[in-house]
Structure 1
Amino acid sequence: MDDVVIIGGGAAGFFAAIQIAEENPKLKVVLLERGKDVLTKVKVSGGGRCNVTHAEFDPSELVHHYPRGEKELLGPFHTFCSGDTIAFFEARGVPLKIEEDGRMFPVSNSSQTIIDCFMGEVDRLGITVIKNCSVTGIKKSDNGFIVQSIKKEYQAKKILVATGSNPKIWKMLEDVGHTIVSPVPSLFTFNIKDDRISEIPGVSTHASVEVLPQTRVDSKVSIDLKSKGLQQPILESEGPLLITHWGMSGPAILKLSAWGARVLSDFKYKFKIRVNWLPAYHEGGVYQQLLDIKEIEAKKTILRTNAFDVPKRLWVNLVKATGISDSTKWADVSKNALQELTEQLTRSEFLVDGKSTFKEEFVTAGGVDLKEINFKTYESKIVPGLYFAGEVMNVDAITGGFNFQNAWTGAFIAAKAIAGN
């Protein structure tokens, strides 16, 4: 019989295995991975650089980056936070660096550095890692658990599930009494076909984005949201917005997709957004500046005179969208046309029709119901001896290293509880 079986060879599984073995070297730890490779998500994270954590060191601030899990993670982050993650890696010869946006990467700029660190620790500590070993069943036994796999049957006193978004594992956890919050995608980009952005992929600018409510009153979501008023946004965010070949991406969009994961799923990913390309200005201020430029730059063409700090190609497309021609000079433009241009700059509406996965970093909202987990130990309240870490639970974050920090924190606390009992 093994002391601990960890199901899932990803970030949380490896981190937990290392912590358990360090805390209590007498324990026999076995880690099962269904794939032929381990740590695959670590490898592709951050474009192959691995966004290890985020330079937010205040737990009270850190929790605000978690659409699901914000309340539950406050205590755990007081136990193990971003600074502890940095210390863990630096103690093992992997220094991290902070980028301007707060994301943290290994100084090597390679995720392989993190993988090599973990594999080295696993070898040093004598942890057994078994690949190509899909788990087919989890059962409670008199002595602990029986974990059935396609290779053999494992008996363990305790088990830790760190499988991320795995429907088969969720079904097994349901079978032993847990409630699973139905999964929906999070962290995705918006598919938009619109002449204003179709020819300018790669353009990036700071913007605010609002998701508008659907107007079909027979929609369950619309009924739920009617009290907020049909003209009021139901979600909003501000930050860098990237125009892509298929629509829009960047932090401003990704934040909306994370915080609105369930609402946008209910919308079946068909909804309207309103973009303010000049969030530092109010609408009246934009119109007044256009009037001032009409006086100052009277002889110049509007198309060639970018009145604001927006990318030139975006300015040209927004001007054309108002019906202003290439040759129209500021002196000749009507006040009505300037009002329409003001609306394009501050209240452009776009129809979103579908979503795309953000790079390889697929994140799901859903999983084991948080009410059924003791966040002081990450042990199941339903099945004693069963522990969780990572995205198998209904916890997820916006992009920026926060999902990994959740994995490290949960794995650390679960490991301490497992090793100490």
Structure 2
Amino acid sequence: MKVGVIGGGAAGFFAAICVKTNYPDAEVILLEQSKKWLSKVKVSGGGRCNVTNDTTSISELSKAYPRGGKQLKKLFPHFNTVHIREWFSVRGVSLYAQTDKRVFPTTDDSQTIIDCFLKEANTLGVQMKSQASVKKIAPSASGIQLYFDEVNAVTFDKVIVATGGSPKLSGLNWLSALGHQIETPVPSLFTFNMPQEKVKTLMGVAVNNATTRIQGEKLSANGPLLITHWGMSGPAILVLSSFGARMLAKKQYQFNLQVNWTNEQNQELVRAVINKTIENNGQKQIQNVRIYDLPSRLWIFLLEKASLTLTQKWDEIGKKGTHKLVEILTNDVYEVKGKTTFKEEFVTCGGVSFKSVNSKTLESKHVPNLFFAGEVLDIDAITGGYNFQAAWTTAFIAAKLGQ
């Protein structure tokens, strides 16, 4: 049996290794259009490679995927975060989980993961061909033909497509030509640009737990928020960008962001905290007594934004001042104009629709013996190792080749 795997990234590499493990006698050829293998693995997690997440509950794990979570929930029992950690452990790669549940190699070096894959592929006898760009897939009576130019084709018995996310719809034309339904790609997992907002002067300031919301929409997120020199980032922003990917694309990345700096959903409770502060610190200046453990630079910024005098004493702010402070702490508004890719982690929402794929085997419903793995499918996740876990899981399933 001759098996072709298209794409030398995380999903493709793992799929090729799993195929060779499942079918030792098969001829497995891994095809990569560039000169580099596992380039996204190399730069992920700031060069440390966020391999997976420490979440073991399949129900909780599935919630990290705005798209594809329902399908992955059925696949995770076969291969999940526990399985991939065991897989690396058996091969001598030690991993550790941070307090935020992101999992990294103990070397904190993505090259450790790359070296493990290269060694495993070589040991098993996977053939690796770089600068091999597949232009077209053509089913035939003898198998599946992969064209590397207009004329030359190689016939395979089975093929796994693991080409990753495409930023443009045109990049998926070769798959839609075979009858597959394609969900239009749009960016996911990005930070918000705020060119007109003064909050950028606080670059580097972080809040441990804030709630963010797109004004006029039901979507919200909470978690750490980081102020940057271009706007805002951190999980509270990234989660919003991920779950709101299609909505924000329609808005052309121009909208108002509401920030609740207290993470308290009931304004009356915030009012009570302010009243308690007035009671206990009435003669102290408001700039010197912070509430909700907000960073001092942000606290000063918010007081000024609420038009409160910094040297004013707490018992002098009155009902009007209390109302202004409650409003700015729980419903602060910023104008967003544009986005920036989160670090080097380019993630797309969209790809081959699950309507065109057997959700149990990941085999194409249009081309027998053609399978899909990784982000070429309409799967994407929030940050935290979840995107890589989807790659490992779908590659593991596809590598069974329908068995």
TM-score band, normalised by the shorter chain?
over 0.9
Mapped to 1, the partners of 2:37 and 2:96 lie a distance apart of 25
Q: Which moved more, 1:291-300 or 1:176-185?
A: 291-300
Q: What secondary structure is seen at the aligned counterpart in 2 of 1:78?
A: coil
1:154 aligns with 2:154: yes
Tell me the equivalent position of 1:391.
Answer: 375
Note the 1:15-414 alignment, pairs <5 A.
15-150=14-149, 153-166=153-166, 167=168, 169-193=171-195, 195=197, 197-205=199-207, 206-213=209-216, 233-280=217-264, 282-414=266-398
Q: What secondary structure is seen at the aligned counterpart in 2 of 1:345?
A: helix
Mapped to 1, the partners of 2:263 and 2:310 lie a distance apart of 26
Tell me the amino acid that sits aligned with residue 264 of structure 2: A
Mapped to 2, the partners of 1:267 and 1:195 lie a distance apart of 19
CA contact (8 A) 2:158 2:401 kept: no
Relative distance call for 1:99 and 1:38 in structure 2 (3 A) is: same
How far does the alpha carbon of each residue in 1:33-57 deviate from its partner, in whole angstroms, 9 at most, with x for none?
Answer: 1111010010111111111111112
Relative distance call for 1:407 and 1:10 in structure 2 (3 A) is: same
Tell me the amino acid that sits aligned with residue 293 of structure 2: D
Mapped to 2, the partners of 1:67 and 1:274 lie a distance apart of 21
How far does the alpha carbon of each residue in 1:44-79 deviate from its partner, in whole angstroms, 9 at most, with x for none?
Answer: 111111111111122222111111112111211111
Relative distance call for 1:177 and 1:349 in structure 2 (3 A) is: same
Deviation at 1:108, TM superposition (A): 1.1
Deviation at 1:25, TM superposition (A): 1.4
Q: Which runs of 5+ in 1 are unaligned?
A: 214-232
Mapped to 2, the partners of 1:87 and 1:394 lie a distance apart of 27
Q: Which moved more, 1:396-405 or 1:163-172?
A: 163-172
Tell me the amino acid that sits aligned with residue 136 of structure 1: K
Tell me the amino acid that sits aligned with residue 154 of structure 1: V
Mapped to 2, the partners of 1:191 and 1:169 lie a distance apart of 27
CA contact (8 A) 1:190 1:354 kept: yes
Mapped to 1, the partners of 2:355 and 2:57 lie a distance apart of 24
Deviation at 1:347, TM superposition (A): 0.9
Deviation at 1:371, TM superposition (A): 1.1
Question: What is the alpha-carbon root mean square deviation over aligned residues?
Answer: 1.6
Mapped to 1, the partners of 2:220 and 2:118 lie a distance apart of 42
Deviation at 1:328, TM superposition (A): 2.2
Q: What secondary structure is seen at the aligned counterpart in 1 of 2:111?
A: helix
Tell me the amino acid that sits aligned with residue 179 of structure 1: Q
Deviation at 1:327, TM superposition (A): 2.7
Mapped to 2, the partners of 1:10 and 1:378 lie a distance apart of 18
Tell me the amino acid that sits aligned with residue 179 of structure 2: G
Q: What secondary structure is seen at the aligned counterpart in 2 of 1:341?
A: helix
CA contact (8 A) 1:204 1:241 kept: yes
How far does the alpha carbon of each residue in 1:267-321 deviate from its partner, in whole angstroms, 9 at most, with x for none?
Answer: 1111112111111363122223323333433332212221331111110000011
What's the TM-score once normalised by structure 1's chain length? 0.91
CA contact (8 A) 1:135 1:148 kept: yes
Using the aligned pairs only, state the percent identity.
46
Q: Which runs of 5+ in 2 are unaligned?
A: none
Deviation at 1:122, TM superposition (A): 1.2
Mapped to 2, the partners of 1:318 and 1:368 lie a distance apart of 45
Mapped to 1, the partners of 2:292 and 2:174 lie a distance apart of 56
How many pairs does the alignment contain?
A: 399
How far does the alpha carbon of each residue in 1:352-399 deviate from its partner, in whole angstroms, 9 at most, with x for none?
Answer: 111110000010000001111112211001110110000001111111
Q: What secondary structure is seen at the aligned counterpart in 2 of 1:234?
A: coil
Tell me the equivalent position of 1:228.
Answer: none
Q: What secondary structure is seen at the aligned counterpart in 2 of 1:199?
A: helix
CA contact (8 A) 1:210 1:273 kept: yes
Q: What secondary structure is seen at the aligned counterpart in 2 of 1:303?
A: helix
How far does the alpha carbon of each residue in 1:172-197 deviate from its partner, in whole angstroms, 9 at most, with x for none?
Answer: 11111111110011001111245552
CA contact (8 A) 1:377 1:413 kept: yes
